[in-house]
């Protein structure tokens, strides 16, 4: 009998099949990113204790994907665009498996869909883009920032309390324009601005992403960054070294990995 974690992983892999078909049909290149790329390279599938999937597309492709997927089905899956979430969340897209009517949406298996943005070469302009990315995040999420320190939490909490609700839509519009001002096609660096590694660490040469390269992932072929070794070393250092045993547990859902 498979564990709940493994059952979830296989469901997510099946969801990726549907996403891949949709993206191929509409000529929307994308990549597995972060831990999903690491799993593909190191384990030819999921990191054994991982409980999520992250994919990303250059900003212009991402906007096309949102326009095509909103209000429609990606296969049998349900997509919620960045600014139209059913509940407050990060400023990324969510692709849900809603096949079990007993599960509330927030508990459904989900693929996180990130935009990859062009990064300006100037340090000053990077600071501007970074600042507006925080504003965009807060305007979409409308909750104090988490995991970014007590000071950041206090500032964002005060900002949210003092900001009239009607202004958040305006802030979203303006901040998104600033973030996306630098086209990925015209920049030498890209970043998953809303990735877990945070703004500075996520910035890397766009050649690391390059042409999506299909590799084995759970018995199927799925795309990862072209220069995956450089991409993974940039994010994780020596990514072949496994973390300590006590850290080998899922981070997003109430599941347990029982391996070694």
Measure the CA–CA gap between 222 and 31, rounded to whole angstroms.
Answer: 8
Residue 138 Cα distances to 87, 106, 172, angstroms: 14, 20, 9
Strand boundaries in the chain, DSSP class E: 31-32, 53-58, 73-74, 77-80, 93-96, 110-119, 189-191, 204-205, 213-217, 220-224
pLDDT of residue 146: 66
Answer whether residue 252 shows pLDDT above 80: no
Pairing relationship of beta strands 204-205 and 189-191 according to DSSP bridges:
antiparallel
Average pLDDT over residues 49-56: 96
DSSP string, 66-81: HHHHTTSEETTEEEE-
Mean pLDDT of all residues in the chain? 92
Kindly state the average pLDDT of the residues 37-57: 97
Question: What is the reported pLDDT for 152?
Answer: 65
Q: What integer pLDDT is reported at residue 147 of this predicted model?
A: 61
Q: What is the pLDDT of residues 99-124, one digit of tens each?
A: 999 999 999 999 999 999 999 999 99
pLDDT of the residue at 141: 83
Look at residues 47, 56, 55, 54 and name the one whose alpha carbon lies nearest to residue 5.
Answer: 47
How confident is residue 1, by pLDDT bands cut at 50, 70 and 90? very low
Residue 148: its pLDDT value, please?
A: 61
């Amino acid at each position: 009998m498979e564990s709940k974690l493994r059952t979830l992983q296989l469901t997510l892999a099946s969801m990726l099949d549907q996403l891949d078909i949709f993206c191929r049909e509409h000529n929307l290149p994308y990549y597995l990113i972060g831990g999903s790329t690491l799993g593909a390279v190191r384990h030819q599938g999921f990191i054994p204790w991982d409980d999520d999937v992250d994919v990303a597309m250059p900003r212009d492709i991402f906007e096309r994907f949102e326009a095509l997927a909103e209000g429609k089905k990606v296969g049998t899956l349900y997509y919620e665009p960045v600014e139209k979430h059913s509940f407050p969340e990060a400023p990324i897209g969510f692709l849900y498996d809603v096949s079990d009517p007993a599960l509330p949406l927030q508990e459904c298996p989900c693929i996180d869909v990130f935009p990859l943005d062009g990064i300006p070469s100037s340090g000053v302009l990077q600071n501007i883009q970074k600042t507006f990315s925080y504003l965009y995040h807060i305007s979409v999420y409308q909750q104090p920032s988490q995991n970014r320190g007590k000071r950041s939490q206090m500032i964002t909490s005060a900002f949210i309390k003092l900001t009239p609700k009607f202004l958040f839509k305006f802030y979203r519009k303006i901040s998104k324009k600033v973030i996306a001002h630098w086209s990925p096609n015209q920049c030498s660096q890209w970043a998953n601005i809303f990735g877990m590694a945070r703004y500075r660490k996520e910035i890397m040469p766009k050649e690391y992403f390059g042409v999506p390269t299909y590799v084995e992932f759970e018995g199927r072929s799925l795309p990862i960054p072209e220069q995956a070794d450089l991409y993974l070393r940039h994010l994780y250092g020596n990514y072949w070294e496994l973390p300590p045993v006590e850290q080998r547990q899922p981070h997003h859902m109430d599941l347990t990995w029982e391996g070694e």
